């Protein structure tokens, strides 16, 4: 399940942010995996909405320009099943950071 979670996060970063840089931090109490893209970021009001099942930032129903809207919802559920969480943050340069935090 964690493999699917990470795959969903990476696929989104590459699809919507053109590239992904992965930074892994191993802390005493948690593992933190940050996925940094080069995209436009998200409006603040959408940072939590993108975790809702079937919610898509790209509003058309065209599968070529967007997915089903389940990838981030699945990733969030998997993280929570493992006692973790996912955070989204707009980076100062306009790109997005997706941070997966899992307890040790």
Q: Output the tens digit of pLDDT for each of the chain's 104 residues.
A: 999 999 999 999 999 899 999 999 999 999 999 999 999 999 999 999 999 989 887 654 555 556 778 999 999 999 999 999 999 999 998 899 999 999 99
- pTM, full prediction: 0.87
CB within 8 Å of 84: residues ≥ 6 apart: 30, 100, 101, 102, 103
In angstroms, the CA 96 to CA 104 distance is 25
CATH number for 23:
3.30.565.10
Host domain of residue 73: 2-103
DSSP 6: H
């Amino acid at each position: 399940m964690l493999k699917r979670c990470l795959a969903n996060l990476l696929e989104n970063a590459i699809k919507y942010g053109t590239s992904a840089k992965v930074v892994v931090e191993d802390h005493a109490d948690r593992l933190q995996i940050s996925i940094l893209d080069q995209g436009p970021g998200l409006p603040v009001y959408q940072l939590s909405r993108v975790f809702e099942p079937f919610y898509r930032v790209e509003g058309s129903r065209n599968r070529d320009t967007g997915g089903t809207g389940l990838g981030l919802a699945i990733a969030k559920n998997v993280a929570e099943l493992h006692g973790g969480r996912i955070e989204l943050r707009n980076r100062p340069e306009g790109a997005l950071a997706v941070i997966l935090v899992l307890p040790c």
